[in-house]
Chain A
Amino acid sequence: MIGNTHKKHLNIVLILALLLPFLTGCWDRTEIETRANILGIAIDVSEDNQQMHESEVNHMTGIFPEPNKKLIQITAQIAVPGRIPLGPESGSNGSQKPVWLVSTVGHTLDDAILNLQQEIADRLFFGHLRVIIVSNEVARKGLGDLNDYLRRNPEVRRTAWMIISNGRASKVMESSPQLERIPTLYLSAMMENAVSLGKFPRAFLGLFWSASSKLGQEPFLPVVEVKRHENTEISGMAYFQGDRMVGVLQPLEIGFYMAVMGIKQGGYSAFTPVPGQPGSVLVRSRSRDAQIDAVLDHGQPKIKLFIHVEADIVEKTKNTRSLNQPGLLKDISAEVSDRGKNTIKNILAMTQKNGSDIFGFGEHVRAKLPDYWNTHIKTKENWRKKFKELDVEINFTTTIRRVGMRLG
């Protein structure tokens, strides 16, 4: 009997002991207010006249040598806990800024980030990083080292946007647009809306990485520029060779690039002279469709492009005669196709000169002509050479369907 009660007691003790682990906390617990959420980073080449002294945080003279002499400057936008407005704004604390801009220098991205950590009390957290802005100057030198860090860090999302800035990147980070209280959120919303408005192809970080890894394709990134009212404009598309930026497409060229890629959502408009009449009409693309064929022609790869754009007329300048004439819309369509074809030819000539196959024609050759690829190309470098002399046949058709609410 006594033995039994003892056993009972022992059981209770054991059960309590088993419950003990539930009382412990989480090893990786971090309170939300004790971590510094970085929302955006801007990366610039450090200005020489800027007498920023870099402490020896990650390197030491003689023992842990610096990786290179050039310094980069990063400007980080950190969310201030409690000041990020949730829900509708009350307007009472409008003077308090919801973000804190800090900047520091370093030899590599991680070097700079660790320097930043040395200067900031809370642990830096990259899980909410939305936008990485890189200045033109840095991008032209190559993004390899930056991307290595971003790839390794498990907190960084592949869906963050990387943006090239015309001029200093920190300036974009400093701009404070009125539509959104947090500038980086405005920027990322702007890019996402640009995609849905047909103004820019999807180009977030993960896609950039995929494209730069592919053997027959080169990546591209959006270019932005700060305008007068602290607003930012998508002013072009930077194209790369590997991780080095080699050129920029103009905004309207982005539209035609998207046509080649067959990105459905149309968005760009182009002033097209009306054939045989003064004045011009603004033709707006509604949807695009494209087919890319890779064929072997006399032992050489050849790309055949079939592009079709559905468009509307949205504006007519100089009181030209009525659009309601038989055959006129067809003539305008032909005109658009003709000019479109020339634009694409120009883009192609430019990218071919720079050896940057942003269209991914090489991928089509690799996928559809594997025998040719495996005997003649094999590597990315070979494709870059081959792309420079690639023969591309462009077939461009346009159909204008509607003219808006005005007849004639």
Chain B
Amino acid sequence: METPREITFLQAAAVLISTIIGVGVLSLPVIAVKAVDTGAPLLTFIGTMIALFSLGILAALGKRFPRKSIIHYSEDILGVWIGRVGSVAIIFFFAVLSALTAREFGEVVVTAVLRNTPLEVTVIVMLALAAISCRNDLSTFSYIHLFYLPFILAPGLLIVALSLQNAELINLQPIAPVHKGHWFYGSLTIAALFQGSFIVTMIIPSMRHPARTSIACVLAIIVSGGLYLLIVIASVAIFGAEETKMLIWPTLELARMTSLPANVLERLDILFLAVWVTAVFTTLFSTYYFTIHSLSNLLRLRDHKMFSLFLLPIVFVLAMVPQNVMDTYRFILTIGLYGLIITIGYPAVLLIIAILRKKREDQHDREHAQKTP
């Protein structure tokens, strides 16, 4: 089970950033504003901190087991069978997450852009794209992420910067309306948008220097959380809290009312959607890859390629479960929230038990690894 250690620290950060930034950016402001009105930027910050905390847990686990993925070390910590139950839950959750990502993507495309194209077609095209790309190994996987990263970040920042000409500071005040809203629930919902970062558990065993995982995590959270924060600030400052609540995809709306100076491009939504398709693809690519990679880890298979197409129909059917757009969002929010049990709760339990049982990767194993580079 020795995987080549060739993922660099920067690649790991890139994978995390482009996995986190995904389909959720479109509805992020409305989720945050619905919870706490003008406190949305602060809430996003808190959610980001929760995500950082959860990544901290995963990094600590990764430090204890630098050569194993969560699928393997959970068996060491909890015992084989309980560990396997946990792994099955993780795999299933990520299959659902992939399905919902594809579905949300489809809903946006059918509503706003390609109104005659059937939803099934957009969803299946996206899933097929991910499935085909998943036939690569982890090192190519991280190269693809690193390659797309600037294309996701730069236009996102450009749109935020340009749209700010319509911003009104008064819309952002009061910054902390503490006595109202659902701060706890809201911050967890925001943290749920960072769940894709769980794939760090898959990357650590292939990292060149597993010890640098935590720096990669912090960098990833700063960049992705920073972009999230900017998007929330921009849409609240421009639309105001009340108007944001009425928009199903505030970020898309932001791009629609922003134009490049001197009318080079009258609407930036086409540019934005192109970026966003890339962002969705990288997210879907990660979650799908994680699903099949973990599945093959669980079954002790050498290669995960066979699952890439095998899983496609299952994920597709899962994506078709919600009956309408409102349903889709209810699913996404609920599943995202419960998913936190898997992506934060479960690793926390693992870490605590690992510390209590003094479980580390076998000393002998480590020496062995050092001898044979």
A291 at interface by CB-CB < 8 Å: no
CB-based contact B239/A157 at 8 Å: no
Query: A206 in the interface, Cβ–Cβ < 8 Å?
Result: yes
Q: Does B174 contact A (CB under 8 A)?
A: yes
Most central of A26, A360, A370 by chain B CB within 10 Å: A370
- Which of A151, A202, A214, A368 meets B240, CB within 8 Å? A214
Residues on B with beta carbons closer than 8 Å to the beta carbon of A374: 177, 179-180
Q: Verify A214–B117 contact, CB threshold 8 A.
A: no
Distance A157 CA – B113 CA, assembled complex (angstroms): 13
CB distance from A173 to the nearest CB of B (A): 22
Question: Which residues on the A side are within 8 Å of B243 (C-beta)?
Answer: 209-210, 213-214
Instruction: Find residues 9-58 in chain A having any chain B CB closer than 8 Å to their own CB.
Output: 26-28
A190 within 8 A of B: no
Contact across chains for B246 and A151 when beta carbons are under 8 A apart: yes
The answer to whether B170 touches A206 (Cβ under 8 A) is no
Q: How far is the CB of B368 from chain A (nearest CB, A)?
A: 41
Asked if residues A368 and B114 are in contact (CB atoms below 8 Å), the reply is: no
CB distance from B251 to the nearest CB of A (A): 13
Select one of A151, A209, A213, A367 contacting B173, CB under 8 A: A367
The residue of chain B having its C-beta at the shortest distance from the C-beta of A27 within the complex is B117
With the chains together, A26 CA to B121 CA distance in Å? 12
Question: How far, in whole Å, are A112 and B190 apart by their CA atoms in the complex?
Answer: 42
List B contacts of A209 (CB < 8 A).
Answer: 243, 246
Interface contact B257-A363, CB-CB below 8 Å: no
Which residue in B121, B171, B173, B267 is a CB contact (below 8 Å) of A368? B173
Tell me whether A159 and B257 are in contact (CB under 8 A). Answer: yes
Chain B 235-270 near chain A by CB (<8 Å), digits 1 or 0? 000111011011000000100110100000001000
**Cα separation A151 to B173 with both chains bound (whole Å):** 26
Choice from A27, A207, A370 contacting B177 with Cβ under 8 Å: A370
Q: Which of A85-104 contact B (CB under 8 A)?
A: none
- For the complex, is A215 an interface residue (Cβ under 8 Å from B)? yes
Per-residue CB contact flags for chain A residues 357-369 toward chain B (1 = under 8 Å, else 0) read 0001001101110
Q: Is the CB of A27 within 8 A of B116?
A: yes
Output the nearest chain A residue to B246 by Cβ-Cβ distance: A213
| Distance in Å: Cβ of B261 to nearest Cβ of chain A | 14
Q: A214-B242, A364-B170 known; A157 and B117 CB under 8 Å?
A: no
A24 to B228, CA, bound (A): 37
Give chain B nearest CB distance to A169 CB in angstroms. Answer: 24
B264 to chain A, nearest CB (A): 15
Q: CB of A408 within 8 A of chain B?
A: no
A146 to chain B, nearest CB (A): 15
In the assembled complex, A154 has its CB within 8 A of some CB on chain B:
yes
Q: Mark B53-81, 1 if CB is under 8 A from A, else 0.
A: 00000000000000000000000000000
Chain A residues in 8 Å Cβ range of B257: 157-159, 206
Q: Is the CB–CB distance between A210 and B240 below 8 Å?
A: yes
Report the count of interface residues on A (CB-CB < 8 A). 24
Chain B residues closer than 8 Å to A360, beta-carbon distance:
170
Contacts of B256 in A (CB 8 A): 157-158
Digitize B103-140: 1 where CB-to-A-CB distance is under 8 Å, 0 elsewhere: 00000000111111110010000000000000000000
| CB contact list, A207-265 vs B, under 8 A | 207, 209-210, 213-215
Docked Cα-Cα span, A88 to B116, in Å, equals 37
* A366-B243 Cα distance, complex, nearest whole Å: 15
- When distances are taken between beta carbons in the complex, the residues of chain A under 8 Å from B173 are 366-368, 370
- B residues within 8 A CB of A215? 242
Output the least CB separation between A22 and chain B (Å).
Answer: 13
Q: A278 to B57, alpha carbons, bound, how many Å? A: 82
Minimum CB–CB distance from A236 to chain B (whole Å) comes to: 24
Q: Which residues between 334 and 372 of chain A lie within 8 Å of chain B, taking CB atoms?
A: 360, 363-364, 366-368, 370
Rounded to whole angstroms, the CA-CA distance of A210 and B247 in the bound complex is: 11
Most buried by B among A151, A213, A368: A213
Task: Name the distance in Å between A320's Cβ and chain B's nearest Cβ.
Answer: 43
Residues of chain B within 8 A (CB-CB) of A206 are 166, 239, 257
Cross-chain contact A157 with B267 (CB below 8 angstroms)? yes
**Residues of chain A with a CB closer than 8 A to B259's CB:** 159
Question: Which B residue sits closest to A154, measured CB to CB?
Answer: B112
- The distance in angstroms between the C-alpha atoms of A370 and B38, with both chains bound, is 11
- Contacts A151-B246, A209-B243, A214-B242 given: A367-B114 contact, CB under 8 Å? no
Residue of B nearest to A158 (CB): B257
How far does the alpha carbon of A370 sit from the alpha carbon of B179 in the complex, in Å? 10
- B242 surroundings in chain A (CB, below 8 A): 213-215
Chain A residues, CB < 8 A from B121: 27
Chain B residues within an 8 Å CB radius of A370: 173-174, 177
Complex CA gap A157/B239 in Å reads 14
- CB of A161, distance to nearest CB on chain B (Å): 13
Tell me the bound Cα distance from A213 to B33 in angstroms: 14
Bound complex: CA of A353 vs CA of B267, how far in Å?
A: 40
User: For A26, what are the chain B residues with a Cβ–Cβ distance below 8 Å?
Assistant: 114
For B117, B242, B246, B259, the residue with the greatest tally of chain A CB atoms inside 10 Å of its CB is B242
Q: Which of B166, B180, B240 has the most CB of A within 10 A?
A: B240
Q: Which residues, 155 to 190 on B, are CB-close (under 8 Å) to A?
A: 166, 170-174, 177, 179-180
Closest CB-CB distance, A82 to chain B, in whole Å?
22
Which residues of chain B are within 8 angstroms of A27 by Cβ–Cβ distance?
114, 116-118, 121
Task: Report yes or no: A210 in contact with B239, Cβ–Cβ below 8 A.
Answer: yes
Report yes or no: B170 in contact with A28, Cβ–Cβ below 8 A.
Answer: no
Whole-angstrom distance between the Cβ of B176 and the nearest chain A Cβ: 9
B179 → chain A closest CB, angstroms: 7
Most chain A C-beta atoms within 10 Å of own C-beta, residue among B112, B113, B121, B243: B243
Report the minimal beta-carbon distance from A369 to chain B, rounded to whole angstroms.
9
Which chain B residues border A157 with CB–CB below 8 Å?
Answer: 256-257, 267
> Quick check: B240 and A28 within 8 Å, CB to CB?
no
Alpha-carbon distance between A125 and B284 when the two chains are bound, in angstroms:
33
Chain A residues contacting B114 (CB-CB under 8 Å) are: 26-28
B115 touching A28, Cβ below 8 Å: yes
Do B111 and A154 have beta carbons less than 8 Å apart?
Answer: yes
Beyond A28-B114, A154-B115, A367-B173, 18 additional contacts (C-beta under 8 Å) are A26-B114, A27-B121, A28-B113, A154-B112, A157-B256, A210-B239, A213-B239, A213-B242, A213-B245, A214-B242, A214-B243, A364-B170, A366-B173, A367-B170, A367-B174, A370-B173, A370-B177, A374-B177
Query: Can you give 19 A-B contacts (C-beta < 8 A)?
Result: A26-B114, A27-B118, A28-B113, A154-B111, A154-B112, A158-B253, A207-B166, A210-B239, A213-B243, A213-B245, A363-B170, A363-B240, A367-B38, A367-B171, A367-B172, A367-B173, A367-B174, A370-B173, A370-B177
- The interface of chain B, by Cβ under 8 A from chain A, is 38, 111-118, 121, 166, 170-174, 177, 179-180, 238-240, 242-243, 245-246, 253, 256-257, 259, 267
**3 A-B pairs with least C-beta separation:** A367-B173, A27-B117, A213-B243
